[in-house]
Amino acid sequence: MYKPRVLLFFLTLVLLPTCCFPATSRYVGAQASNTQPISHIEPEAVPGEYVITWQDDLSMSVGLADVQLSGIQVIDHIDAINTSIVTLPDFTTSQLQNTQTELDKFRNDPRVAAVEPNYYYKTLTSPNDPHIVDQWGWNAINAYAAWDITKGSSNVVIAVVDTGIQQDHPDLDSKILAGYDFVDGDTSPDDSVGHGTHVAGIAAAETDNQSFGAGACPLCTIMPIRVIEDRRGKLSDVVAGIIYAADNGAQVINLSLGGVEAVALENAINYAWGQGAFLACAAGNNGENKSFYPAAYAHCLSVAATDRNDTWALFSNYGEWVDMAAPGSSIYSTLTNNDYGSLIGTSMAAPHVAGIAGLLFSQGLTNSQIRGRLCTTADDIAGTGTYWQCGRLNASRAVEGHNTVNPFPYTVYLPLTLADQ
C-alpha cells in the first residue's frame, strides 16, 4: 500500500499536534467520548536544539568539525543513522544571530540531509472507566482461538518505546528484560505516567497467574524503553529509543506515539525494519484523515482504533495511509502502582497488533511476512477501504494463515538501507 509523504506542520496523535506522543485519547471520561472538536497547536521543540541528519558517515565525521568551529555545540550522536544533536549556546543576541546564520548554512550544505528542530513528543493518558474488568478486545480479534495454537515465545521480544514501564508490576514483572531510559540517561526505565505500563500490558501481560487477564502475546518478553517524560519527549530520544530496540534484539517495536514528519525519525524506522524488526504504530487520535508520523511511514504498520461495536472509533485518525484497525476504546490493562484501568486511544490499538506480531514471530515469520499476513487475514468490517485498507485485526486467522479476500492492493516491503531511500 502506498503511503503518501505529506509534511505536517502540527502534531496529531492522541494529544497535541507537533511533537510525538502516545496515542491515548485526549477525551476524558466515558461520556466525553468522540464528539469534541480538536484544536491544532504549533509544533513544540526544545529551545535551541536541532537534529542534523548527515548524508553518510563520512559527511558526519568531516562536517562535525565545521559545526564545532561555527560555535554550535554538539551534545550527542546517533551513529546508526548518521545523526547529530546540537544546541545553540547561550550567547548575546548578536552572537546568537551569527550562530543561527551558521546553522542555516548547514541546511544548504550538500553533506547534510536535514536540519530539524528537536521536536517534543507528548502524551495524554485518559482514564475512561477504571471499573471495567473485561477485556472485550480479545473476543473482537479472536485471540482465544489464536492462543489455542500459540501463546508466543519468551525468545520473542516486544520493545515498548514509551513513558517507561512499572517493571515490578505483578502482571509484568516476570517478563521484563533490560531496557534503557533515554530521558534520564540510565538503565532504569520506570514509568511515572502509566501510559507505557498500560501499553505493555495489552501487548504481553502475564497469563495463567490468577490475576488481571492476558496480553496479546502471553509468552513474549518486554523491553522497556523510556523516551517520554511526564507528557512529552524529544525527537532525539524517540529516535535513539528505536535504534536501541533494534540493536538489542527486539523483534517487535510498539510506537504508541506520534507527531510531525522528521527525516531522522524515518531513518530510525527504516533502520529498525532493516534489522528485521516489525513496527506497530498508532495512527493518532484527531479523528481526521491526515497523515501522522511515524505511523504514515512505509515501514510502520499504522493502526486505527475500533470500538465495542466493531466499527471505527470516532476519535481515531483514518484514511488510505492507515493499514488496519484494532480495538482501542475502553481497553482494560495494567497501570502503575500495581493498578489496572481502562484507557481509550490508538495507543491501545497498536499493542494489540504488536502482540499478535509477536505470536507470528514465534512461528518463524519475518517482519515482511508478518506485515503481509496481518493484512491478508484481517476481517473486512465496515470502514475497510475507507478508514483503513486491510480490515480489523484477526489474531486467529493470522496464526492459522487463513487469508481473507481483500480487494485492496497491498505491498510487502522488503528491508532497505538508508542509502535506498
Q: Which helix (H) or strand (E) holds 38?
A: none
Residue with cell 528485521: 276
Q: How far is CA 304 from CA 171, 196, 398, in A?
A: 26, 18, 18
No. of helices (H) and no. of strands (E), the chain: 10, 14
Question: Is the bond preceding residue 117 a cis peptide, omega within 30 degrees?
Answer: no
352 near 393, Cβ under 8 Å?
Answer: yes
For 141-247, list the strands marked E by DSSP.
157-162, 180-181, 221-226, 232-234
Report phi then psi at 233, rounded to 5. Answer: -145, 160
Question: Which grid coordinates are listed for 306?
Answer: 475500533
Selected catalytic residue, list 195, 198, 299, 352:
195
Catalytic residue among 33, 84, 126, 162: 162
Q: Verify whether residue 347 is a known catalytic residue.
A: yes
Q: Is the peptide bond before 294 cis (omega within 30 degrees of 0)?
A: yes
Q: Determine what percent of the chain falls in helix, strand and coil, rounding each to the nearest 5.
A: 30, 20, 50
Catalytic residue among 25, 33, 316, 347: 347
Grid coordinates of 359: 505470536
Active-site annotation holds for 162: yes
Checking phi first, is residue 230 left (phi over 0); if not, alpha (psi -120 to 50) or beta?
left
Supply the residues annotated as catalytic.
162, 195, 347
